[in-house]
Amino acid sequence: VGLLSLYQTSLAQCTARTSEFQLKGDYLIGGLFDIHHSNVSVYHDRPEFTDCSSQPFILSSYRRFQMMRFAVEEINNSTNILPNVSLGYEIFDQCSDTQNFPEMFNLISNNGLIQPWDEPLKNLSKVIAVVGSSTSTETRTVAPLFMMNLIPMVSFYGASSSVFSRKKNFPSFLRTVHLNKDVIEVIVKILQHFNWRWVAVLNVDDDYGNDGRTLFINMIKDTEICLAYTKALDSKTDYTPVFKQMQAQRIRIIIVLAPEWTAEALIKAAIQLKIKDKVWIAADAWSLNKKLPKEKGIKSIGTVLGVSQPVVTIPGFSDFIYSSKSQNHCENSEQERFCNQVCSCSNMSAEDIIAADPSFSFPVYSAVYAIAHALHNTLQCGSGGCNGNITVYPHMVLAQLRKSNFTLLNRSIAFDENGDPKHGSYSIVFWNHGGDAEKVGFYHYDPLLHFCINNSKIQWYTTGEVPTSQCSQECSEGYSKMYDGIHKCCFKCEICPNGTYVNSTEDPYKCINCKETEWSAEGSTSCSLRVVEYIPFTDSGAIVIMVGACTLMGLTLAMSVLFAINYNTPVVRSAGGPMCFLILGCLSLCSLSVFFYFGKPTTSFCILRFLPFLLFYTVCLACFVVRSFQIVCIFKIAAKFPKLHSWWMKYHGQWLVITVAFLTQALLLLISYSLVPSKPYNETVWSRDKIILGCDINLKALSGPLVLLLSLCSLCFTFSYMGKDLPKNYNEAKAITFCLLLLILTWIIFSTVYVLYRGKYIPTLKALAVLSSLYSFLLFYFLPKCYIIIFQSQKNTQQYFQSLIQNYTKTICQ
């Protein structure tokens, strides 16, 4: 109470004409408009009020002020709403964010007193509701004074900060203007529509601007838009470094979240600094500005787009302004005077007011009507009148305001649980060369979200083409992005290598590996299925090798028959006698493995490719080891070590060696295949577009069988080489040596090819190497014996062989 008295004492010297600011009625509505605006915050060493009439005049705000007066007069003249009840108003010019408290105290007082909470609710305040304030900061400053007594506060203009949706802090706050969130949502839609990704945000340094910037940053997180630069603006901002920074970063899209007075200073600075080739996106606070589009040099700064409240033509408003301006309000000196109810606008014509920026005129109009409807319902009004026995308190009006649901000029007016408007839309405008804000699109919130822009109506500064704004040019197809700096819009392009692809829709920053069954060339955007290849049984090479294997089996059978017929001849006996049949049988069994190198590999096929060959070829080599040893023993050891020779013959040492070799190899193979069985394997490295089916060979697991095989081969070669100087016509050792050399040469050639080539025909080459290993013994060891038996029978006699041995023995003894 004392604080209010102090203010009233300090204001006693103020004089003002107040006829436009006050109207008596049965119920009063408060109004807070920034008809003047104080840009500069001045430090005071003692409490002072701000004389708004000395501050810069805002014509668009004065138009909104007149809209409230018109709405009240229209309601008072209506018989459909509040019949026989008159509305009055008490309006103040709130030109400062923090220094207009006298007006607030005036509104919440009654007869100059402010009632404490613990006293009866009667005479709580002189107003039942308040229309305003204008900006978020002004609202946040004064709102708590109204919130404490639940006086409805219906905002219509710049109080769009999302903070006011918190009902815990602002329980009696409502608004007929959309939130910052909605405006930012439209701006983001515009950026996405034109594929603009590299943008700057310039916002006024207050609750409205900072809230808008924060919302924008949060809203673009999951998009391809990057905030390259942001700057909070105030009356002291030096625009030169601001524009220099944006030029340095090659920013072409500038979003301006600011009231009209800040936007005017910004655009004028841009013109003065000769800023060119920009796209300016204006928020709804200044997108319909009437002064800037006609500013000299405005065309040079680029293209201006904006988001605006839809312009609604309100019938009767123009007539009201003409009527109001024709009256002289200056003579009325008997009215109660209060400061900041003064307007330095006597030189404003009706035409000036009507032609002013129409932004937020309908939200003012609908705010007044929403309060009137709430009061209408509180008083239980009907066609016959209202219930005059009801004492109206602000909180009762608030309760009805929250339930608002009516149609005004074909537009639905309703509030959600946060006091925000449920319905509405935005217009998208373009400042054409004629100096007008031309509608080029819209964004509807209800009943469904709908966004549309007519690109053909926009005259770009680029003479037809839509301007681009990107930190980095988009990568070509098949290239992935690699971050270059802190912004996701700044990147380098790297081509995806073979076997990978990039999906620009899901993740443009990663080259994704193709599946094993797929392949891709360098710089691909998708993978293709690999061609599956293996050697079928019908392959010509496979047929030739299988015929060769069958021929080998036929030859071994024929030789076995021939040797059986001539079993007791010296040639057969010298070739090994019964051991010949074992060798020939094992060679036939080895040839079975050849057939499993063809067809689609299976686990059993993979095992049978190696098992018969390794097992039975071990027996063959063991036989030749024994045979080579016997030859050396007969011609060399027998003469020098007769006891050793007799022991070998007595205990059948040859069969003992063969049996041990066979059992050892069988055991090693059983262990290796039990631990790591051979299985089908897909070769995908050698050919990028093919899958070559093969068998996985674990050399570690097969190391035991292979070492045994190599050991036998080495022993055989050693013993056979020791017999190189045997009788010329008795060439058993020489034949074995030659066969072993062919065997070694065969596998050296195969190993070399295997290192250099891993293609489809590796199984064919393996089968060929196996067959060659078998034929080396068949052709160069057994075939000469068959030739002697069939064509040189004179050499197949006991006398011939004995003569050779006797001659060699004499040679050794000399």
Give the Cβ contact number of residue 377 at 10 Å: 16
* DSSP output for 68-100: HHHHHHHHHT-SSSSTT--EEEEEEE---SSS-
DSSP structure class, residue 447: S
Q: Are 657 and 618 in contact (CB under 8 A)?
A: no
Q: For residues 451 and 474, what is the distance between their CA atoms, to the nearest angstrom?
A: 26
Q: Which amino acid is at 301?
A: I
Q: What is the pLDDT of residues 48-58, one digit of tens each?
A: 667 777 788 88
Q: What is the pLDDT of residues 408-437, one digit of tens each?
A: 998 899 999 999 998 888 999 999 988 888
b/e map 703-717, b = 16+ CB within 10 Å: ebbeebbeebbebbb
Cα–Cα distance list, 224 to 221, 227, 387, 504, 674 (Å) = 8, 10, 59, 12, 57
pLDDT on residue 21? 87
Q: For residues 664 and 673, what is the distance between their CA atoms, to the nearest angstrom?
A: 14
pLDDT on residue 433? 86
Sequence-ordered list of residues with C-beta below 8 angstroms from that of 780, at least 6 positions apart, any chain: 735, 738, 739, 742
Nearest Cα neighbor of 494 from 508, 513, 506, 514 is: 508
Q: Which amino acid is at 601?
A: P
The phi, psi pair for 233, rounded to 5°, reads: -105, 145
Cross-strand pairs, 492: 482
pLDDT on residue 735? 82
The phi, psi pair for 516, rounded to 5°, reads: -60, -30
Q: For residues 246 and 221, what is the distance between their CA atoms, to the nearest angstrom?
A: 21
Sequence-ordered list of residues with C-beta below 8 angstroms from that of 486, at least 6 positions apart, any chain: none
Q: For residues 303 and 430, what is the distance between their CA atoms, to the nearest angstrom?
A: 8
Helix (H) or strand (E) holding 615: helix 603-632
Positions of the chain with pLDDT under 70: 1-19, 39-49, 98-103, 111-124, 327-341, 344-346, 446-449, 632-642, 644-645, 647-649, 651, 723-731, 803-814
Q: Are 426 and 453 in contact (CB under 8 A)?
A: no
| The pairing of beta strand 531-533 with beta strand 437-444 | unpaired
Q: 477 in helix, strand or coil?
A: coil
DSSP structure class, residue 467: P
The alpha carbon of 803 is separated from its chain's Cα centroid by a whole number of angstroms, namely 92
pLDDT on residue 807? 63
Q: Are 134 and 33 in contact (CB under 8 A)?
A: yes
Kindly tell me the number of DSSP H helices and DSSP E strands found in the chain: 24, 25
* Residue owning tokens 């916002």: 203
Tokens encoding 225: 């838009």
Sequence-ordered list of residues with C-beta below 8 angstroms from that of 365, at least 6 positions apart, any chain: 67, 70, 71, 312, 314, 408
pTM: 0.67
Q: Are 194 and 303 in contact (CB under 8 A)?
A: no
As a whole number of Å, the CA-based R_g of the chain is 52
Q: For residues 471 and 489, what is the distance between their CA atoms, to the nearest angstrom?
A: 6
Compute the residue count for the chain. 814
536: cis peptide before it, omega within 30°?
Answer: no
Cα–Cα distance list, 660 to 26, 131, 619 (Å) = 124, 110, 10
The phi, psi pair for 421, rounded to 5°, reads: -65, 140
- Kindly report the average pLDDT of the chain as a whole number: 84
* Residue owning tokens 């060679």: 587
pLDDT on residue 79? 87
Sequence-ordered list of residues with C-beta below 8 angstroms from that of 33, at least 6 positions apart, any chain: 61, 62, 64, 65, 68, 91, 92, 93, 94, 132, 134
> Counting Cβ atoms within 10 Å, is residue 752 exposed (0-12), middle (13-18) or buried (19+)?
exposed
pLDDT on residue 333? 41
DSSP structure class, residue 57: B
The alpha carbon of 771 is separated from its chain's Cα centroid by a whole number of angstroms, namely 57
Q: For residues 361 and 379, what is the distance between their CA atoms, to the nearest angstrom?
A: 27
Q: 528 in helix, strand or coil?
A: strand
Q: Are 722 and 636 in contact (CB under 8 A)?
A: yes
Give the Cβ contact number of residue 316 at 10 Å: 12
Q: For residues 272 and 745, what is the distance between their CA atoms, to the nearest angstrom?
A: 90
Provide the H-helix boundaries in 327-434. Answer: 350-354, 361-378, 394-402
Cα–Cα distance list, 3 to 14, 143, 146, 701 (Å) = 18, 18, 17, 98
162: cis peptide before it, omega within 30°?
Answer: no
